[in-house]
Homo-oligomer: A and B are copies of this chain.
Amino acid sequence: MQNSHDSDDGALVVLSGGQDSTTCLYWAFEKFGAERVAAVSFDYAQRHKVELQSAAQICALSGTPHHILPINTFSALGGNALTADIPVDQYSGEESTRLPNTFVPGRNVIFLSYAAALAFQLNYHHLVTGVAQTDYSGYPDCRENTLKSLQQTLSLGMDYALTIHTPLMHLSKKQTVQLAQQLNALPALGLSHTCYNGIRPGCGECPACVLRAKGFAEAGIADPLFSQNSG
């Protein structure tokens, strides 16, 4: 059977509903064939649950099977929570070492571990994530060396060959926008969510909105988030 794609295998895309993961979804369509791509999103009490709606709309637009997994552990970790119904000793350490609620170090490691478990079920051997070292160098679990190590850990831990693809790892936002155009992902980007303030199409002032606008401006492309939603 003829196959014009790079692989007969399938890929699961970690889809937050934002600009980068949406671009990755379309990258996966090209690499694996749209019929061999599924998406997974996580419902973890994130501040901007509106992005889950974006993810669902993007999957509906593109006909992509969409899995949404709940994660209640992050908020428990954030609050250092103990269950109420079992008597336990409370840890009385320094409050200053506490992390903000719902932030968990290595969170991306956990996202990808769950995605790997789902890929195993789907019999897919590829994960795709939109992390970019360029923009998010502050998050060590988005760096290339972490993801290479995680790929090995998950392959060993599930005894299952798994490749983690990071097509945006070394791209600037301008280059990501250009890639999205090449991949015909702009209509889907019109459904994506970026704004930290949860405003659609965007507040235009928060760091995320500013970064997105800069990328589109530098690429010389109109952001469909505004052109599609202004009519």
By a beta-carbon cutoff of 8 Å, the part of chain A in contact with chain B is 38, 43, 52-53, 56, 59-60, 63-73, 76-77, 80-83, 86-94, 97-99, 104-110, 113-114, 116-118, 120-123, 140-141, 143, 145-146, 149-150, 152-154, 156-160
Known: A66-B88, A105-B120. A73 touches B157 (CB 8 A): no
Known: A88-B68, A140-B157, A143-B156. A113 touches B123 (CB 8 A): no
| Partner pick for A157 among B71, B97, B146, CB 8 A cutoff | B146
Query: What is the minimal beta-carbon distance from A112 to any residue of chain B, in angstroms?
Result: 10
Determine if B153 and A140 form an interchain contact, defined as CB atoms under 8 angstroms apart: no
Determine if A109 and B153 form an interchain contact, defined as CB atoms under 8 angstroms apart: yes
Count of chain copies: 2
- Across chains A and B, which 6 residue pairs bring their CB atoms closest together, nearest first? A141-B157, A140-B159, A65-B91, A66-B88, A105-B158, A149-B153
Determine if B69 and A73 form an interchain contact, defined as CB atoms under 8 angstroms apart: yes
Q: How far is the CA of A141 from the CA of B160 in the complex (A)?
A: 11
User: Whose C-beta in chain B lies nearest to the C-beta of A138?
Assistant: B159
Q: How far is the CA of A156 from the CA of B149 in the complex (A)?
A: 8
Task: Give the chain B neighbours of A120 by CB distance below 8 A.
Answer: 99, 105-106
Task: Give the chain B neighbours of A145 by CB distance below 8 A.
Answer: 156
Query: What is the minimal beta-carbon distance from A121 to any residue of chain B, in angstroms?
Result: 6
User: Whose C-beta in chain B lies nearest to the C-beta of A10?
Assistant: B93
Query: What is the minimal beta-carbon distance from A217 to any residue of chain B, in angstroms?
Result: 32
